[in-house]
């Protein structure tokens, strides 16, 4: 428990940055008009691809006995990958709505 508190104390600036990024992200996304969601989803998919690559790099840099870093990195890779795949699926379904339906003879 003391290790966790020490880690949090040493990385307090990063924790503030993370909380600020979350609040700013929620505020920005909540004010986006519905018509812009499809292009934003595509952009978010590209960003999450970078997140997956970053998580893999962090896992490669972690010490083999640092199970916390490896677990969090693995979780980040899994969640980021699911987010990328889900984003592309949702974007594809949204774009299908704009295609013209074939005329029946």
From CA 76, how far away is CA 2, in angstroms rounded? 25
The pLDDT tens digits of the residues spanning 57-72 come to 888 888 999 898 889 8
- For residue 14, what pLDDT is reported? 87
- How much is the pLDDT for 20? 94
Q: What is the pLDDT along the chain (105 residues), one digit of tens a residue?
A: 778 888 888 888 888 998 999 999 888 878 777 777 666 766 777 777 888 888 888 888 889 998 988 898 899 899 888 888 887 887 777 778 777 777 776
Domain definitions of the chain by residue range: 1-31, 37-105
> For residues 55 and 41, what is the distance between their CA atoms, to the nearest angstrom?
21
Provide the whole-model pTM: 0.55
Largest CA distance in the chain: 74
User: Distance between CA atoms of 43 and 30, rounded to whole angstroms?
Assistant: 16
Alpha helices in the chain (DSSP H): 2-10, 12-30, 37-61, 67-96
List of residues 6+ apart from 26 with CB closer than 8 A: none
Q: What is the pLDDT of residue 78?
A: 92
Q: Which residues contact 21 (CB under 8 A, 6 or more apart)?
A: none
């Amino acid at each position: 428990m003391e290790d966790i508190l020490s880690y949090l104390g040493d990385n307090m600036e990063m924790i503030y940055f993370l909380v600020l990024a979350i609040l700013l992200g929620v505020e920005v996304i909540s004010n986006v008009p519905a018509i812009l969601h499809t292009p934003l989803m595509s952009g978010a998919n590209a960003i999450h691809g970078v997140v997956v690559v970053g998580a893999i790099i962090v896992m490669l840099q972690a010490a083999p006995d640092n199970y916390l870093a490896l677990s969090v990195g693995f979780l980040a890779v899994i969640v980021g990958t699911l987010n990328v795949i889900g984003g592309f699926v949702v974007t594809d379904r949204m774009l299908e709505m704009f295609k013209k339906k074939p005329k029946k003879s």
